Structure 1
């Protein structure tokens, strides 16, 4: 990790604020912020006010400038877009790769990227898309229909264990009509098809097949920026791909992303001018930075969830899961640990999401109800080890969860550690309860996608909360499939609402709080920059002044 901390007052000021405001959390043993983002990437509604985003102070963009950014998360996975789920590589891939269709990183609206237009519907189960003429990969080779077919079929191949396949249950086959046209055959009508294929990034077949591991470490795409170098705990270096001819050209000559997971170092790198923007502003610093930089907090799907090992007693009983939710003092979590930068979850979706539905079961702070549910389940005197990741804001919340559970007679032990190590325990089944961040909205914002990430036929219900095969799991997937095939928007929404009610009642994996995502930047040095409603930073359309 690069230590970007300047000496002197900024660090001392921040230390004083933390001692005064967060004495409880520090004495409770909240650990330092580290770290890797997990396979739980855990997404979003529209951004909040972007007041103050007029950038560059009227100066003209500098086409020869270099963007310097402070990134919170280390490289926890590779870059291959078929399997990459780490926060930092996914954000990097936004600049390196294109899909036929991509989502605007700020508005989350779909637009034609490598395709000349949005896919054209031939009939209910057939679509066609034409490739942008002259598009090239970063090795200089042309993007062809064969590359598109390869990019989709390798995801559909079960042996590749792609994370994206769970988002494409409707897709039957992909074929090349000619060198620049691709045809998609669907298993059933899927109204969300044109925007959903944004989850598939187009890769060069020859490069991937020649050396998949090398491609994962140093990807080759067709996007506006070429990745030059990536060092796990240090930096990612990009340069403009001058042959790019698509809709989102690079407006800077280069980018250096500094991987600075230390909160103090990241904040001071912005204040000192060493970087021009940082993600994941520590909640304690949001107010203080507003006088020195432009800062905005955007409502997001991103959440902290509780996940139970449903194959282990007594957590196979929903009453125990519900009890531990009712015991939580979420108001204290939001006000004390998050400095107001969050909202208690009243649904699987955050209130800013266009499909928000208040769940039939809403977990308020009700200690009496929590105790009664434990007694009914025969789980009085329960002892729990709570697994959490050491991501800064999560580690700050963990002591409050422990305090809430201890207060109803549940003896709680905290196990806080690096996310990769914690998920090894989860995947091995050696855990009881986990509290972790989740944000699948980096892949898309439609409700079907957000629900399928955790509740579809993927790794989460099978290897993690171990719910697969239960009657309720079968019911959830049935509702999702019915909604996916419905051409009627209102009928689809009704089915999604039923799904949300069911997973809220079951609470096998369910959010405690939806967070706001604070971002800070120097508006005098960047033009066109806007904060995202997802984890990460985007510099598409951004230049230095």
Structure 2
């Protein structure tokens, strides 16, 4: 997650191409799960099948037809069509677990084959996840201490106090407004440019949000530079495309939503929308500050706004099932943060997360019913299957243009990822650009590491 370079994990080597659509992967010698049982090719095939069937992750793996057992150490991957240059990165998304593990165990105390094993999990606010080394691990990144504890602290102030009191050594999502307090305690705050983005998602089944001109108007009406300065301490860049301009595959979109209230009013007039009133659902985390500023901007162009903060689980609780024909989803606009680069940073993956044939397009934005969605899907498939990098980039550019113009869901800015940590206590640690923490190869200078 520092470089997004793929490396063999359970695999002994890179996939071997057998035909245009067939590959074989051999497992490394004698891999074991953390409970001491062998990792089998059946476990690997099952993990792929489960991931492919998942409503969120399945779109990442839609190019796979099936994964089957060839022999006791080898699996065969059969594709729907040629994958081109992205195959290795996409295969690396699948984490392998015992095929016999029931669903309840997967969601309470999973078993894996990595350097750590779960000792206990209490995921509630104020809870913790405790890890100890997997004594059966034989891979390249062994555990570097006797115990690792991740504290679950959602409140910014409480997280900062825990770091200041050295109850934790490393903290993700360090709040910009408390950066001075953090550095005064002796910790380092490091900002890494990444993808993390607050986005607006529109109800594309509901008038007038089914009209792209209305969606565009609401985006043009927002002073994003003000949001960045006011809410994240200047640590962000306004979007000029779905991708930030420092990402591979970046293309400046044909539609860029620079602050233009007059254009917003004109687009609403073109759409024959008068006296628009909407409810803005948002997370009750850092984006709630953005919601207050967005409300001001929208009201300045004549839109009446009610802000409705909700916990993340509640925010999407009624947006998980595909609506029946003629049914209208119970929302107008959602504001929420997202960062699909925790899975990978290739353009196809990022577009597949929010605009693939999955829960986002079918049960949330409901953009999947539009002809533009089908057009995007065709272009993504063509880009995914080519071995010609220039052709692939040209197709991605068309995709970025279409997504920006349609904007069923679209980011406002890309926020730098802020990580706070005590550098002298964590030898070899580097913050990552995605949300989360990565401590593979990090050696703590204390008996236990609390994060």
TM, length-normalised to structure 1: 0.78
Are 2:392 and 1:499 equivalent residues in the alignment?
no
Q: 2:189 maps to what in 1?
A: 295
Q: 2:10 maps to what in 1?
A: 114
In structure 2, which of residues 357, 378, 392 is the aligned counterpart of residue 478 of structure 1?
A: 378
Would you say how many aligned residue pairs link Structure 1 and Structure 2?
A: 434
Are 2:51 and 1:155 equivalent residues in the alignment?
yes
Kindly report which structure 2 residues correspond to 1:128-277, keeping only aligned pairs within 5 A, or say none. Answer: 128-156=24-52, 158=53, 161-191=54-84, 192-206=86-100, 208=101, 211-233=102-124, 234-277=127-170
Which string of whole-angstrom CA distances, capped at 9 and with x for unpartnered residues, describes residues 11-34 of structure 1?
xxxxxxxxxxxxxxxxxxxxxxxx
How far has the Cα of 1:288 moved from its partner?
Answer: 4.2
Whether the aligned pair in 1 keeps the contact of 2:320 and 2:359 (CA below 8 Å) is: no
How far has the Cα of 1:287 moved from its partner?
Answer: 4.2
In structure 1, which of residues 309, 315, 326 is the aligned counterpart of residue 209 of structure 2?
A: 315
Structure 1 runs (4+) greater than 3 angstroms displaced: 425-428
In structure 1, which of residues 405, 413, 416 is the aligned counterpart of residue 298 of structure 2?
A: 405
Question: What SS does the aligned partner of 1:494 have?
Answer: helix
Whether the aligned pair in 1 keeps the contact of 2:132 and 2:147 (CA below 8 Å) is: yes
In structure 1, which of residues 336, 358, 361 is the aligned counterpart of residue 230 of structure 2?
A: 336
How far has the Cα of 1:162 moved from its partner?
Answer: 4.5
Are 2:23 and 1:123 equivalent residues in the alignment?
no
Q: 1:89 maps to what in 2?
A: none
In structure 2, which of residues 241, 262, 268 is the aligned counterpart of residue 374 of structure 1?
A: 268
Kindly report which structure 2 residues correspond to 1:413-452, keeping only aligned pairs within 5 A, or say none. Answer: 413-427=306-320, 429-452=329-352
Whether the aligned pair in 1 keeps the contact of 2:254 and 2:401 (CA below 8 Å) is: yes
Question: What SS does the aligned partner of 1:306 have?
Answer: strand
Question: What SS does the aligned partner of 1:121 have?
Answer: strand
Kindly report which structure 2 residues correspond to 1:66-85, keeping only aligned pairs within 5 A, or say none. Answer: none
Q: Structure 1 unaligned runs (5+)?
A: 1-104
How far has the Cα of 1:349 moved from its partner?
Answer: 0.3
Q: How many angstroms apart in 1 are the aligned matches of 2:259 and 2:423?
A: 41
How far has the Cα of 1:469 moved from its partner?
Answer: 2.2
In structure 2, which of residues 289, 292, 306 is the aligned counterpart of residue 396 of structure 1?
A: 289
Whether the aligned pair in 2 keeps the contact of 1:252 and 1:542 (CA below 8 Å) is: no
Q: 1:22 maps to what in 2?
A: none
RMSD over aligned CA atoms reads 1.3
Q: 1:79 maps to what in 2?
A: none
Question: What SS does the aligned partner of 1:454 have?
Answer: helix
Q: How many angstroms apart in 2 are the aligned matches of 1:162 and 1:377?
A: 34
Whether the aligned pair in 2 keeps the contact of 1:225 and 1:240 (CA below 8 Å) is: yes
TM, length-normalised to structure 2: 0.94
Q: 1:347 maps to what in 2?
A: 241
Whether the aligned pair in 2 keeps the contact of 1:526 and 1:543 (CA below 8 Å) is: yes
Question: What SS does the aligned partner of 2:317 have?
Answer: helix
Q: 1:464 maps to what in 2?
A: 364
Which string of whole-angstrom CA distances, capped at 9 and with x for unpartnered residues, describes residues 296-323 of structure 1?
1111111011110010000111111000
Which string of whole-angstrom CA distances, capped at 9 and with x for unpartnered residues, describes residues 92-146 of structure 1?
xxxxxxxxxxxxx211111110101111222221111111112100111011112
Q: How many angstroms apart in 2 are the aligned matches of 1:426 and 1:385?
A: 15
Which string of whole-angstrom CA distances, capped at 9 and with x for unpartnered residues, describes residues 173-207 of structure 1?
2122211111111121102112211111111112x
Q: 2:421 maps to what in 1?
A: 521
